[in-house]
């Protein structure tokens, strides 16, 4: 437990007087292990503790027994998420510093709402989180809570302070294609590939006209990929142009060094559809890597949001009081990272089941994080 307690150093205990009868670090460890084994809330934490009490006493004192679900609920409602957030970075350890081998790894940023965390009585909207996700490593690097979706834009600079972005590529959808975002990424030594749409009106129109004009195709590097399967053929064409001096004279976008376009054409059932997307780049990627980066951004949907909702049932979580929803969201992401860094190719659902069935496997996941 002394080794486990190192994970929770610096977490401020918000409890007072008799509420502190249960050891803070023991409660946090029980909570994390519970979520790692498929627990969904404070009731499950207490149930997990009672079911695994003999096992837990191998490394915990539990001087006052297993905390009740009310004790867990009161703790997480009052706990400051900012003091709890660094635990995620400690669990990641060297994994967070070696996300992509010898190339610029991608950190995808996107928002997610916890749909059931609203409070109709008080008019409190659902908790909305802006998250940073290491696309290649499939690890959550950090999260920041915002009041509503429109505040995502101002949350990114705060989120970036939690991350090491030097030598990494930040991707985001068009909502976050803002000067402040680009400046914040560049100031911290990172690069960006940002989707460009009509919210940057004249910049979007100028880039679109240039990339769509065949006359300027000689000024672009081009790459095409073709995938076939499941009754469809998908062709993706990537264009990158660094001939943007004229564009910078008009717009002076922070850190801009190239613009790009990806056209995806799908043929299925004798019908063909086509869609083009446009991007701002702070580094002159070759079109092969540019296409990889734009496609990898969507892993935040498939490898994070989908797993949280389908495997961990996050969309149905009803924590509403205080900081409970945000802190339990952090616990779910910590558990997800622990399972992801385990090297076997077992599915996420399989690893969670195995952690619940095998005490040794569950402890191995935590020990690996401490050793890192």
Where in 177-257 does DSSP place strands (E)? Answer: 191-196, 221-229, 232-241
**CA-angle at 306, arms to 228 and 365, nearest 5°:** 110
Nearest to 7 by CA among 38, 32, 36: 32
Q: What is the DSSP string of 72-111?
A: HHHHHHHS-HHHHTHHHHHHHGGGGG-SSTTS--EEEEEE
Closest by CA to 164, choosing from 102, 95, 83, is 95
Is the overall model pTM greater than 0.85, yes or no?
A: yes
Task: Count the Cβ atoms, other than its own, within 10 Å of residue 362.
Answer: 21
Return the H-helix or E-strand segment holding 362: helix 359-371
The CA distance from 340 to 350, in Å, is 11
pLDDT at 69: 94
Residue 200, CA distances (Å) to 181, 197, 207, 280 in order:
13, 6, 11, 11
**357 Cα distance to chain centroid:** 28
Instruction: Please list the pLDDT of the chain residue by residue as tens digits (372 residues).
Output: 777 888 898 899 999 988 899 999 999 999 999 999 999 999 999 999 999 999 999 989 999 999 999 999 999 999 999 999 888 888 887 666 666 555 789 999 998 888 666 555 555 567 889 999 999 889 999 999 886 655 777 888 889 988 889 999 999 999 889 999 999 999 999 999 999 999 898 999 999 999 999 888 888 999 999 988 777 899 999 999 999 999 999 999 999 999 999 999 999 888 889 999 999 999 999 999 999 999 999 999 999 999 999 999 887 776 667 888 899 999 999 999 999 888 888 899 999 999 999 999 998 888 776 654
Task: Please report the pLDDT score of residue 257 as a whole number.
Answer: 97
The answer to whether 132 and 75 are in contact (CB under 8 A) is no
Q: How far is CA 165 from CA 96, 159, 196, in A?
A: 10, 11, 21
Express the helix, strand and coil content of the chain in percent, nearest 5 each: 50, 20, 30
Nearest Cα residue to 108 out of 136, 129, 145: 136
**Tell me, what's the pLDDT at 372?**
46
What pLDDT does 99 receive?
64
Residue 245 burial (10 A CB sphere; 0-12, 13-18, 19+): exposed
């Amino acid at each position: 437990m002394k080794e486990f307690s190192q994970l929770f150093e610096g977490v401020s205990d918000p409890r007072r007087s008799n509420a502190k009868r249960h050891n803070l670090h023991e409660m946090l460890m029980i909570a994390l292990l519970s979520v790692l084994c498929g627990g969904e809330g404070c009731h499950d934490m207490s149930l997990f503790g009672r079911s695994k009490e003999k096992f837990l006493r191998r490394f915990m004192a539990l001087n006052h027994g297993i905390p009740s679900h009310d004790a867990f609920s009161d703790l997480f409602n009052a706990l400051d998420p900012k003091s709890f957030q660094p635990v995620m970075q400690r669990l990641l350890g060297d994994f967070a510093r070696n996300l992509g081998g010898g190339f610029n790894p991608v950190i995808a940023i996107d928002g997610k709402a916890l749909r059931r965390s609203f409070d109709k009585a008080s008019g409190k909207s659902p908790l909305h989180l802006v998250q940073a996700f290491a696309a290649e490593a499939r690890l959550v690097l950090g999260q920041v809570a915002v009041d509503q979706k429109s505040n995502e834009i101002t949350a990114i600079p705060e989120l970036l302070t939690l991350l090491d972005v030097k030598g990494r590529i930040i991707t985001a959808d068009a909502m976050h294609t803002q000067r402040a975002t680009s400046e914040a990424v560049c100031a911290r030594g990172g690069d960006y590939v940002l989707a460009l749409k009509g919210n940057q009106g004249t910049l979007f129109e100028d880039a679109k006209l240039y990339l769509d004009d065949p006359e300027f195709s000689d000024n672009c590097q081009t790459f095409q990929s073709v995938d076939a399967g499941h009754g469809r053929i998908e062709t993706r064409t990537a264009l990158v142009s660094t001939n943007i001096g004229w564009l910078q004279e008009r717009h002076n976008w922070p850190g801009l060094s190239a613009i790009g376009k990806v056209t995806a054409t799908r043929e299925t059932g004798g019908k063909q559809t086509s869609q083009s997307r446009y991007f701002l780049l702070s580094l002159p990627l070759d079109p092969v890597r540019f296409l990889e980066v734009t496609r990898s951004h969507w892993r935040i949907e498939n490898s994070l949001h989908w797993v949280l909702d389908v495997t961990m049932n996050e969309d149905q979580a009803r924590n509403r009081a205080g900081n409970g929803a945000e802190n339990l969201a952090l616990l779910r992401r910590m558990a997800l990272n622990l399972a992801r860094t385990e090297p076997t190719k077992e599915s996420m659902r399989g690893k969670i089941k195995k952690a619940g069935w095998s005490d040794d496997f569950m402890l191995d996941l935590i020990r690996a994080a401490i050793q890192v």
